[in-house]
Amino acid sequence: MKSQQISALLFCGLSLAACKKESRVQSLTDASSQQDAATAGNNACLEFDPSDFVKGIDNRYMPLVPGTSLHYVNKSIEDGELITSNDDVTVTSDIKLILGVSCTVVHDQVTIKGKVTEDTYDWFAQDKQGNVWYCGEATKELTDTGWSTEGSWEAGVDGGCAGIIMWAHPPAHMGETYYQEFEHGTAEDQAKLIDINSTVTVAYGTFKHCVHTQEFSRLEAGVIDNKYYARDIGEIKQVTTKGAKEFQQLVSITH
Along the chain (255 residues), what's the average pLDDT of each consecutive run of 10 residues?
37 37 44 45 60 96 98 89 95 97 98 96 97 96 90 92 95 93 89 96 98 93 94 97 85 97
* Helix, strand, coil shares, percent, the chain, to 5: 15, 55, 30
pLDDT of res. 35 = 45
Phi/psi for 159 (5° steps) reads 80, 10
pLDDT of res. 243 = 67
pLDDT of res. 67 = 98
Interior angle at CA 244, CA 242 and CA 250, nearest 5: 95
pLDDT of res. 42 = 46
d(CA 107, CA 90): 5
Question: 188 in helix, strand or coil?
Answer: coil
pLDDT of res. 5 = 37
pLDDT of res. 144 = 86
pLDDT of res. 88 = 98
Spatial neighbors of 124 by CB under 8 A, at least 6 apart, are 57, 62, 64, 103, 104, 106, 132, 133, 134, 135, 165
Taking every pair of Cα atoms in the chain, the longest distance, rounded to a whole number of angstroms, is: 55
Tell me if the pTM is above 0.75: yes
Q: Which fold has domain 12-254?
A: YmcC-like fold (2.40.360)
Q: Where are the domains of the chain?
A: 12-254
